[in-house]
A and B are shown apart, each in its own frame.
Chain A
Amino acid sequence: MTPVNNHSRPVVAIAVVAACLAFATGCGRTPPAYFRPNMVEATKQRLTPDQEKQVSTVLLAMFGTPDEPVCLPETGLDEAKLRLAAGPVRSDIVGRKNGLYREHCAHCHGVTGDALGPTAAFLNPYPRDYRPGVFKFKSTERADKPTRADLVRLLHNGVPGSSMPSFALLPPAQVDALVEYVKYLSMRGETELALMRAFFELDDDAGGKLPETREFLVDETLVPVAEKWKAAADAQIQVPPMPADIDLVASIAKGKELFHGDKANCVKCHGVTGLGDGQANDYDDWNKAIVEVRKELSSSAEQARGASTSGMSPDELAEHRAQLAWLDKFGRVLEGDALEPRTIPPRNLRHGIYRGGRRPLDLYYRIHAGINGAPMPAAKGTVPPEDIWHIVNYIRSLPYELDGELGADKPMLARDRF
C-alpha cells in the first residue's frame, strides 16, 4: 500500500543514537563494595582527615575489603570460611555459593557490620552493630564474647520478636561461614575503635600518627581483641542442674516472691504485671552512645554559639572556629551515619516471646548474666542459683497465668496470639 519511505535513513540515525545513549548510561558498573569508616567515633575523637586515612589504610592491610578479606593468623579465623561469606553474590564453583553475607545479612547489618544497611532504619529493634563487639544473647558471663555455638544458635533460631530471621534451613557449612564472617566484622570494628582511640594516647613527638609497627598494630591492638574471642569458650556460665523432682507449683510461688522482692527487683522494669510497663525510658548501649553524644554536642553547641568572639585572641578565635566546624561536622555525621535513637522497652513477659531463646536454660543465662549491652542487670551474686531457677519457672508460667496481679488492663492471653 504505502511505499517504503525513502526518509527512513534519518529514522535509523535517531534510533542508533538513542540506543547508544541508552546503553551508555548503563555501562558504568558500580565500583566494588567498601567498608564504611566509623565516622561517629572518628569525629568524637576529633581525628583529622589524615588520621582517618591512616586508620583506613591500616584496616585495609589488616582486614582487607568486603570482596577480598584478609585474615591474619592472630585472629584465629578460618580464611576459607571468610571467602565463602565475603564478596558479591556469585557462584565461582558450580554448586557453591559465595557472597553469603551480602546475600543474607548486608542489607540490614550493613556491609561493614555497622547496622547501617539500607533496611536498618525501618526495623524495630535496629539490627546489631557488630563494631563494639558486644552481643546480647549468649551463654557466657556478661562482659565476655559469645561462643561459636552461641552464634550458631542465634543464626538457627533467629531472634524471636525482632526482624532477625531464623537461618536454620541454610546448610551448616554456610551457617559456619556466616558466623566466621560476623566475628571477622566484629574484630575489625573493635580494632578500628581501638586504633581511633589510640590517637588520644599518643605522645606529642608522634606527630599525630600511630606507629605502624607490627608490635603496635597486631600485638598491642589486634591480639587483645582476638584473645577475648578465643577466651569465650572458657567463660561459659556454669549452670547448676534444676532438681528433677522439683515441686513446680512451689517453685513458681517462690519465683513470684523473688520477682516482686528487693534482691532481684524485676518489677522495677518489667512492672508488677510483667507487661514491661515499669521503668521504660532507658537505652541500650548502642543507642545510648548516640544519645550521649547528642547531649554533649548540644551543650557544646550552646556554649560555642553563645560565646562572644569580641574578646578573643587570634588563637582562641581559631580554636573557636575549629570547634564550630567540628560541631557542624558531627551534626552531619549523626544525620548520615547514625540511626535515630530509640529507648529499649523492658520485655513484656506475658507474651511468651523471648529474644534469646525460650529454653529454661536460656532464661537462666539472661537472669544470671543480665544482657550485655542492655539495661537488664546480672543477678549473679545477688540471687543464689537455685533461686534463679525459681524465677525462671515463674516467668515461664506468666503467659498462661489467669489470675495474678494484672490490674485493670488484662493483656490478651498468649494462648490466643503470640
Chain B
Amino acid sequence: MSIATSPSTVHHESAAPAPHPAGFLSTYVFSKDHKVIGLQFLFSTLVWFLIGGLLALAVRWQIAWPWSDVPVLGKLFAQEGGQMAPEFYTMLFTMHATVMIFLVIIPILAGAFGNFLIPLMIGADDMAFPTLNMLSYWFMWPAFIAFGASFFVEGGAASSGWTSYPTLSTNVASSPGSGWGQTLWLIGLTMVGVSSMLGSVNYMTTIILMRAPGMTMFRLPMTIWAMFITAVLQAFALPVLTAAGFMQLADRTLGTGFFSPEGNIVNNWMQATGGGQPLLWQHLFWFYSHPAVYIMILPAMGMVSDILTTFARKPLFGYRPMVYSIAGIAGLGFIVWGHHMFISGMNPALGITFMVSTMMIALPSAVKTFNWLGTIWGGRIQFTTAMLFALSFVSMFIIGGLSGIFMAATPVDIFIHDTYFIVAHFHYVLFAGTAMGVFAGIYYWFPKMFGRTMNEFWGKVHFFLTFLFMNGTFFTMHILGAVGFPRRLADAYHYETFHHLQPLNAFMTWCAIGMVATQIIFAANFFWSMFFGPVAGRNPWHSNTLEWTAPSPPGHGNFDFQPVVHRGPYEYSVPGVEKDHLMQTDPPNAAAAALAAAH
C-alpha cells in the first residue's frame, strides 16, 4: 500500500488498501503476492531437498558397501538379491547433484528467500512485476515433472553426471540414462532456467526502482545486495546455458553434431553425424555453471551478514568493502570458468590464464571472511539457533574456500581433479556453507513468515547434530582426495591404491545417514511451530531492518504505513541511544547523530 506522497516511481493498480475477498486458489495457489510465492518456493524446494538427500544416501550406501543389498531400493533388483546395477549408481549421483543444484539451492535462495524478503527489506509493497513473479514459480512445475518423470522412463533418469558432458550425454547408446532420461533432464533444466531468468529480471527492477524513500543503495541490507548481484549473474549467465541445452537437445533429437566428433563409435554403433567438439559443451556449460556457484552462495552470504549483526548487536564491519567484495566475486566469476577444464584437453596455455583469475577470486571471499570476524569481534553474542547456523557458515566457508586454492593451482589439480578433494570442496561451500546459511535464514525469518517462532531447544539440537555429522561426512573427503580416490566410481576398492579405504567410507556413510536422519527434527520443528509455536511479535530478534517493522506475517501490501528510511542497516548498540538497536525507519536521533559525526 502506498500513500500518495510516496516518491517511488512504480505504482500498482491495487493501491487501494481495502482487502479483497479471494478464494483458496487465488490466495494460496495462483497468488501474485510475493510472500505467498516465496513460501511456495520454500515448500517445494524443501521437499526436493529431502529427495536429493535420499539420493545421496543411496550413493553413499554403494560407496561404503559396494554390491551389497541396498535398503528400500534393493527391491528394484530382486533377482540380484538387492545389489544395484552400475548404471543405477551413475543415475543416482547425477540426479542427486541435479536435484540439489537446480531444484533446491538455486530456487530456495532466489525464489524462496529472494521473493519473500526483497520487497519487505526495501520497503516496497510487492515486486515490480507480480504476474511475472507468479509465472517464475509456475515454470518450476514443468521442471519438477520432467525431472521426476525421468526416473520412470526406459533407461532411467539422466546418468551422465549433472555436468552432462558429451558424448556420453548426447549419444543414446553410451548409457541407459542417455535416452529419454537425458532429454527430460534438458527440458527440466530449460524450465528452471526460464524460471530463474524471469525472477532475476523482477528482482533487479524491484531493487532499483521500488526502494522506499530514504533507502539509498548503500543503505540496503547485505541480503538485498547479494540478491541483486545474484540476479545480475543469473541474467548474464543463464542464456548461455539455455543455448547450450538447446544445442545438446538438437544433437540428441535432430541429428546435429555440435558436440559430436566424426567417426565416433559408441557401444559399437557408429555415429551418423560429426564435425563437432565435445569441449565446446564444456566451455558453454561452465561459462554458466561457474557464475552459478556464486549464485548458489552469494545470497547466503548476504543473509549471514544480516544474522551475524543482529545477534552480535553490532554494525557490520566494513559495509562498503563487503558490497564491493560481492561485486568482485560476481565479476571475477565470469572469467574463471576454465578452471573446471584444466585437464580437459583445452589448450594448456589457458591453464595459466584461468589459474591467475581463479587465484584472485579467492581474495574477495577472504575479505568477506575477515569482515565477518570483524563483525563479531567486540560484539555481544547471543547464541540463538539462527546465529549458530550463521557462525557455522563462516567457519565452514573458511574450509571450503581454502580448499579451493588447492584446485586453483593447476599442477596440483592434475592430481586432485575428479577426486574426492573436489567433492569435499563443493560440499563444504554448498552444504556446510549455503545450506547452513539457508537453515539460519529459515530459523531467523520463520517468525516473519508464519507469525510464530520455531522451538529454540530443538533448533539447537538440530544444529549440533547436523554440524557434527556434516563434518564427519565431508571433512575426511579431503584426505580421500589426497589419496587420489576418484569421483563417480561405483566400486573403487579393486584398485591397489584405494583398496584400504572402505572402512573410512563406511564411517562417512554412517555420518551421512545420521545427518539425513537429523533433518527429521528440523521438519518436525518446522511444521509443529508453524501451527503451534509461540506467537511472535513484529520484531522478536530486535533487529533493525525494514521487514521487522511489518506485522508477522505481513498482510497484503506489507506495511501499515509507508516506510521512510533514515539510516543504514546494522545500527546496533549506538552510543547515546537507550535501546540497543535503531530501526532504519526510526526518526533521526540528534544525540546519536552528533556522536556519529564525531566518529
A18 touches B524 (CB 8 A): yes
Check if A94 is an interface residue, CB within 8 A of chain B: no
Complex alpha-carbon distance, A119 and B527, angstroms? 42
Q: List 24 A-B contacts (CB under 8 A).
A: A4-B457, A5-B455, A5-B456, A5-B533, A10-B528, A11-B524, A14-B528, A30-B69, A30-B77, A31-B78, A88-B69, A89-B66, A89-B68, A99-B67, A102-B67, A106-B83, A107-B85, A111-B81, A117-B85, A119-B85, A122-B173, A122-B175, A161-B268, A162-B268
Check if B88 is an interface residue, CB within 8 A of chain A: yes
Complex alpha-carbon distance, A121 and B173, angstroms? 11
Q: Which residue among B81, B86, B457 has the maximum number of chain A CB atoms within 10 Å of its CB?
A: B81
A7 touches B532 (CB 8 A): yes
* Residues of chain B within 8 A of A27, CB atoms compared: 71
Complex alpha-carbon distance, A162 and B72, angstroms? 33
Partner of A88 from B67, B455, B457, B517 at Cβ < 8 Å:
B67
Tell me which of A32-40, A195-203, A211-219, A237-245 binds B: A32-40
* Residues of chain B within 8 A of A22, CB atoms compared: 517, 520
Q: How far, in Å, is A185 (CB) from chain B's closest CB?
A: 14
Check if B44 is an interface residue, CB within 8 A of chain A: no
Interface string of B359-402 (1 = CB under 8 A from A): 00000000000000000000000101000000000000000000
A124 touches B268 (CB 8 A): yes
Check if B358 is an interface residue, CB within 8 A of chain A: no
**Majority secondary structure, A binding face:** loop
Complex alpha-carbon distance, A123 and B266, angstroms? 10
Interface string of A1-33 (1 = CB under 8 A from B): 111110110111011001100100111011111
Complex alpha-carbon distance, A103 and B453, angstroms? 52
Q: How far, in Å, is B387 (CB) from chain A's closest CB?
A: 10
A33 touches B79 (CB 8 A): yes
A89 touches B83 (CB 8 A): yes
A123 touches B532 (CB 8 A): no
Q: How far, in Å, is A292 (CB) from chain B's closest CB?
A: 25
Q: How far, in Å, is B497 (CB) from chain A's closest CB?
A: 13
Within 8 A of A (CB), among B264-279: 267-269
With A18-B524, A32-B81, A107-B80 as given contacts, are A163 and B384 in contact (CB-CB < 8 Å)?
Answer: no
Q: How far, in Å, is B180 (CB) from chain A's closest CB?
A: 13
* Residues of chain B within 8 A of A111, CB atoms compared: 79-81
* Residues of chain B within 8 A of A7, CB atoms compared: 455, 528, 532-534
* Residues of chain B within 8 A of A14, CB atoms compared: 524, 527-528
B384 touches A2 (CB 8 A): yes
- Smallest Cβ-Cβ distance to A15: which chain B residue: B524
- Smallest Cβ-Cβ distance to A23: which chain B residue: B517
Complex alpha-carbon distance, A7 and B534, angstroms? 8
Complex alpha-carbon distance, A32 and B540, angstroms? 57
Additional pairs, 20, CB under 8 Å, beyond known A4-B456, A107-B86? A1-B541, A2-B384, A5-B455, A5-B457, A11-B521, A11-B525, A12-B524, A14-B524, A15-B524, A25-B72, A30-B81, A33-B83, A66-B81, A106-B80, A107-B83, A111-B81, A112-B79, A118-B80, A118-B85, A124-B269
Check if A61 is an interface residue, CB within 8 A of chain B: no
Complex alpha-carbon distance, A121 and B77, angstroms? 15
Complex alpha-carbon distance, A237 and B268, angstroms? 30
Check if B411 is an interface residue, CB within 8 A of chain A: no
Check if B351 is an interface residue, CB within 8 A of chain A: no
Within 8 A of A (CB), among B92-134: none
Partner of A1 from B69, B384, B520, B525 at Cβ < 8 Å:
B384
Check if A341 is an interface residue, CB within 8 A of chain B: no
Within 8 A of B (CB), among A110-134: 110-112, 117-119, 121-125
Check if B74 is an interface residue, CB within 8 A of chain A: yes
A36 touches B458 (CB 8 A): no
Check if B75 is an interface residue, CB within 8 A of chain A: yes
Within 8 A of A (CB), among B492-549: 517, 520-521, 523-525, 527-529, 532-534, 540-541
Check if A263 is an interface residue, CB within 8 A of chain B: no
* Residues of chain B within 8 A of A41, CB atoms compared: none
Q: How far, in Å, is A252 (CB) from chain B's closest CB?
A: 27
Partner of A119 from B176, B453, B534 at Cβ < 8 Å:
B176
With A7-B534, A15-B521, A30-B77 as given contacts, are A88 and B83 in contact (CB-CB < 8 Å)?
Answer: yes
Complex alpha-carbon distance, A112 and B78, angstroms? 13
- Smallest Cβ-Cβ distance to B536: which chain A residue: A2
* Residues of chain A within 8 A of B441, CB atoms compared: none
Check if B588 is an interface residue, CB within 8 A of chain A: no
Partner of B267 from A5, A29, A123 at Cβ < 8 Å:
A123
A26 touches B81 (CB 8 A): no
Complex alpha-carbon distance, A138 and B384, angstroms? 73
Check if B82 is an interface residue, CB within 8 A of chain A: yes
Complex alpha-carbon distance, A118 and B540, angstroms? 56
* Residues of chain A within 8 A of B173, CB atoms compared: 122, 124
The 6 closest A-B pairs by CB, nearest first: A30-B82, A33-B81, A26-B71, A30-B74, A118-B85, A89-B67
Check if B418 is an interface residue, CB within 8 A of chain A: no
A8 touches B455 (CB 8 A): yes
B268 touches A125 (CB 8 A): yes
Q: How far, in Å, is A84 (CB) from chain B's closest CB?
A: 15
- Smallest Cβ-Cβ distance to A103: which chain B residue: B67
Check if B38 is an interface residue, CB within 8 A of chain A: no
Check if A67 is an interface residue, CB within 8 A of chain B: yes
A18 touches B520 (CB 8 A): yes
Check if B263 is an interface residue, CB within 8 A of chain A: yes
Complex alpha-carbon distance, A364 and B3, angstroms? 96
- Smallest Cβ-Cβ distance to A121: which chain B residue: B176
Within 8 A of B (CB), among A53-92: 66-67, 88-90
Partner of B87 from A34, A118, A161 at Cβ < 8 Å:
A118
B79 touches A34 (CB 8 A): yes
Q: Which residue among A1, A67, A90 has the maximum number of chain B CB atoms within 10 Å of its CB?
A: A1
Check if A417 is an interface residue, CB within 8 A of chain B: yes
Check if B155 is an interface residue, CB within 8 A of chain A: yes
- Smallest Cβ-Cβ distance to A88: which chain B residue: B81
Q: How far, in Å, is B153 (CB) from chain A's closest CB?
A: 13
Q: How far, in Å, is A181 (CB) from chain B's closest CB?
A: 15
Complex alpha-carbon distance, A124 and B269, angstroms? 8
Q: How far, in Å, is A382 (CB) from chain B's closest CB?
A: 30
- Smallest Cβ-Cβ distance to B456: which chain A residue: A2
* Residues of chain A within 8 A of B175, CB atoms compared: 122
Complex alpha-carbon distance, A99 and B68, angstroms? 10
* Residues of chain B within 8 A of A90, CB atoms compared: 68
A19 touches B382 (CB 8 A): no
With A2-B456, A7-B534 as given contacts, are A30 and B75 in contact (CB-CB < 8 Å)?
Answer: yes
Complex alpha-carbon distance, A3 and B456, angstroms? 8
* Residues of chain A within 8 A of B491, CB atoms compared: 103
With A8-B457, A18-B523, A89-B83 as given contacts, are A417 and B67 in contact (CB-CB < 8 Å)?
Answer: no
Check if A412 is an interface residue, CB within 8 A of chain B: yes
Within 8 A of B (CB), among A398-418: 412, 417
- Smallest Cβ-Cβ distance to B71: which chain A residue: A26
* Residues of chain B within 8 A of A5, CB atoms compared: 455-458, 533-534
Q: How far, in Å, is A357 (CB) from chain B's closest CB?
A: 18
B457 touches A31 (CB 8 A): no
Q: How far, in Å, is B493 (CB) from chain A's closest CB?
A: 10
Q: Which residue among A2, A4, A8 has the maximum number of chain B CB atoms within 10 Å of its CB?
A: A2
- Smallest Cβ-Cβ distance to A29: which chain B residue: B69
Q: How far, in Å, is A217 (CB) from chain B's closest CB?
A: 26
* Residues of chain A within 8 A of B528, CB atoms compared: 7, 10-11, 14
* Residues of chain B within 8 A of A119, CB atoms compared: 85-87, 176
* Residues of chain B within 8 A of A412, CB atoms compared: 263
Complex alpha-carbon distance, A30 and B78, angstroms? 7
With A29-B82, A88-B69, A162-B268 as given contacts, are A118 and B77 in contact (CB-CB < 8 Å)?
Answer: yes
A36 touches B79 (CB 8 A): yes
Complex alpha-carbon distance, A124 and B524, angstroms? 50
Interface string of B198-237 (1 = CB under 8 A from A): 0000000000000000000000000000000000000000
Q: Which residue among B155, B173, B263, B457 has the maximum number of chain A CB atoms within 10 Å of its CB?
A: B457
B520 touches A26 (CB 8 A): no
Complex alpha-carbon distance, A4 and B527, angstroms? 17
